[in-house]
Amino acid sequence: MPEDRTHKVSCSSFTYELEVAFEILSGKWVPLIIWHLADGEPKRFGEMRRLMPKVTQKMLTQQLRALEKHGLVSRKVYQEVPPAVEYSLTEMGLKLIPIFENVNGWAVEYLEKREES
């Protein structure tokens, strides 16, 4: 979290905004989580775990909570026994998807060119 906006001055061409974005997205499993929620379908915690077997339960919880705090993911708790929790992308979260697709497009081209050499 860029604590002081005066940083803007010392790094004039790296906008405060861009810095914030990369800070939010730089969580180790954040891109993966967002990508798995990209279809707009809410998913339960256990479902997410199964989709991402390499992510420990601790990290999944931690990163989901961070995304919730930042307003990219919403967490809906159903008061039942046993408890059920659903995660989904918020409006702002969904708006990241086209960007992710652009990144993916870039990467496809990148890998093609790498293989040539």
- Residues of this chain that interact with DNA (CB under 7 A) are 27-28, 44-47, 55-59, 61, 64-65, 75, 82-85
Q: Which residue has the tokens 């919403």?
A: 74
Binding segment for a copy of itself (CB under 8 A), chosen from 6-14, 41-49, 57-65, 76-84, is 6-14
Give how many residues touch a copy of itself by CB under 8 A: 39
Q: Which does 37 bind (CB under 5 to 8 A by kind): DNA, a copy of itself, none?
A: none
Q: What is d(CA 60, CA 57) in angstroms, rounded to the nearest whole number?
A: 5
Q: Which stretch binds a copy of itself (CB under 8 A): 28-36, 40-48, 61-69, 78-86?
A: 28-36
Alpha helices in the chain (DSSP H): 7-10, 16-25, 30-36, 45-51, 57-69, 91-94, 97-116
Q: Is 69 a residue that touches a copy of itself (CB under 8 A)?
A: no
